[in-house]
Amino acid sequence: MKTALQSADWAAFAKGYNGTAYSENKYDEKLAKAYAKRSEVA
């Protein structure tokens, strides 16, 4: 999961953290959106 997080591979990270159900809740998309929002601020 560390590698997925460092490379911003949100689908891989979400799958590792939440299991295969991550896609049902679009957790990877939410992570990508939050990351993009925070990246703009920094």
pTM: 0.80
pLDDT of residue 23: 93
- At residue 40, the pLDDT reads 84
| Contact indicator for 34, 28 with CB cutoff of 8 Å | no
Q: For 4-38, what is each residue's pLDDT tens digit?
A: 999 999 999 999 999 999 999 999 999 999 999 99
Provide the 8-state DSSP code for 24: T
Better pLDDT: 23 or 40 = 23
